[in-house]
Amino acid sequence: MLSIGALAKEAGVKVPTIRYYEQIGLLEAPPRTDGQQRRYGAEAVRQLNFIRHSRELGFEIDDIRELLSLSAQPSGPCENADKIAARHLDAVDLRIRQLTLLRNELKRMLDECHGGCVAECRVIDSLSARPD
C-alpha cells in the first residue's frame, strides 16, 4: 500500500493532482487508516497512469471518466471506447488543419515583409486588415 506521496511519485504526478482527480470523481479516494492516512493500492496506480496518459493525449475529463467506467467492465464491448477515440481523433485532425492554416498565414506575412520601417511592415499591415 502506498501513501499519496508514494503514489504521486510512482505515477509521475503531483499530490495536488491526485487530490483534484479525487475531488472530481476520476479517482476514488481510499478509506483512511487509523492514523488518518490514505493508502493506495496497485489499482490506484493503474488508474492514475490511465488518467495521466489520457490527459497527455488531450482527452477531456468527461471522456476519461467514461473510458474509466468502460475499463471497469472488461468483458463489455469496446464500441463506446472506439467512438470516444474517433471523436477525439476528429478534433485533433480539425486542430491540425487550423494550425496548418495559421502557420501558412504567418509564413505568408513574414515572406511579404522585407524589413524597413513599421509603416511599410507587412506583418503589421496584415494584422490590421480585415480577414477574408
**What is the rounded CA–CA span in Å between residue 119 and residue 117?**
5
124, pLDDT greater than 90: no
Task: Convert the pLDDT of each residue in 14-54 to its tens digit.
Answer: 999 999 999 999 998 888 888 888 899 999 999 999 999 99
Q: How confident is the model at residue 5 (pLDDT cuts 50, 70, 90)?
A: very high
Q: What percent of the chain has pLDDT over 90?
A: 67
**Distance, CA of 40 to CA of 4 (rounded, Å):** 7
pLDDT at residue 132 in the model: 63
This model's pTM is above 0.75: yes
Fold of the CATH domain 4-76? Multidrug-efflux Transporter Regulator; Chain: A; Domain 2 (1.10.1660)
Res. 128: pLDDT tops 90: no
DSSP for 22-58? HHTTSSPPPPB-TTS-B-B-HHHHHHHHHHHHHHHTT
